[in-house]
Structure 1
């Protein structure tokens, strides 16, 4: 449902000592822009993000147990109050960590390094009735509705709570056990097996 476009030519590391990533895409983009990011320890949100950082040679110093925005910000306020954190992020985020942390007296530096854009589909590409549809971010939901309407027979599988709140009212849904695409697929397969056995 979404595409990615790099929007930064450089990364401003001045005055910071820690990086924060909330998606593996952000890590890939940072690596394309400036490999100096590897010189800084990183806070990783989600297992896939942590793996991407380590696969590209970066160091993860913290991965919160819960990746939801408010819990994450509370963790940062508790453990990283003295650090100067740069959040390398997309143009749209599901939780405003900067404002939340400001209330805790913590300044979070941010730089938008990529943006998400919606892929265009034709009406005949609309999913069939009873489809199970996986959404891995609020952006994927917004882009779905730029292309299609929601059929009551659909079931959504969402990657987490922050994504769930963007579903239409009354939509059937399930939340993946872990914030991973593989976990979303596993949940979708469970739903399909269950519906096929009826």
Structure 2
């Protein structure tokens, strides 16, 4: 049966894991919430970064009171963990659909988008085009790791990618075996794959959903 490998920034107890990068939280400016009445999160790491900085910065302490708009269940769980105010959870894992939802929901608001240093979505541009007063703040950096060639997954493995950056950093280290099968946590990650890759999208935007799909594929694929 095909081996399943989760590729990303944190390990899983369910399947073999390959860490290709590390998350580094940025120092968030103390005045970043001035004039902002809502928050946007597309990553659990952005939530954790803001929560950590707020512990030592009085001006950021009220972030939990602001309505937060999150792209999926993973971010929602992280927000609940820190006591944040969930105003909206995206209905699917597609960044474009999330942006379209926000255009309707944030028409009269001034949101702050807490994001990674490098992103592939056009969320900010989409909201700006809709004349929404959006601002951005880089909450964390995803730093690639240089891995030994011996860590490369064997041919025919099913590789789970939780972010576009995970795919990029995997290829930087190991290239791509044409016999690999890729599983994406959402459409944004799926769109980062090369067009000739055999790939699938998890029905739910969660690591558990990806693992369940990968196990099903491992049973059915030769």
Q: TM-score, normalised by structure 2?
A: 0.84
Using CA pairs under 8 Å that are at least 6 residues apart, name the structure with larger relative contact order, 1 or 2.
2
Is there any run of 5+ residues in structure 1 with no aligned partner, and where? none
Contact 1:10–1:33 (CA under 8 A) maintained in structure 2: no
Contact 1:2–1:116 (CA under 8 A) maintained in structure 2: yes
Secondary structure at the counterpart of residue 156 of structure 1: strand
Structure 1 residue 161 displacement after superposition:
1.2
Match of 2:134 in 1: 108
Residue among 38, 41, 44 paired with 1:21: 41
User: Aligned pairs, how many?
Assistant: 196
Q: TM-score, normalised by structure 1?
A: 0.94
Residues in 2 aligned to 1:65 and 1:75: alpha-carbon distance in whole angstroms: 9
Residues in 2 aligned to 1:6 and 1:132: alpha-carbon distance in whole angstroms: 30
Q: 1:67 to 1:160 in 2, by over 3 A?
A: closer
Deviations for 1:50-106, whole angstroms, at most 9, x for unmatched residues? 111112111101112124222112111112110110011110112121111111111
Deviations for 1:131-160, whole angstroms, at most 9, x for unmatched residues? 110011110011001101111111001111
- 2:58 is equivalent to residue 32 of structure 1: no
RMSD: 1.3
Match of 2:71 in 1: 45
Is there any run of 5+ residues in structure 2 with no aligned partner, and where? 1-19, 56-60
Contact 2:36–2:111 (CA under 8 A) maintained in structure 1: yes
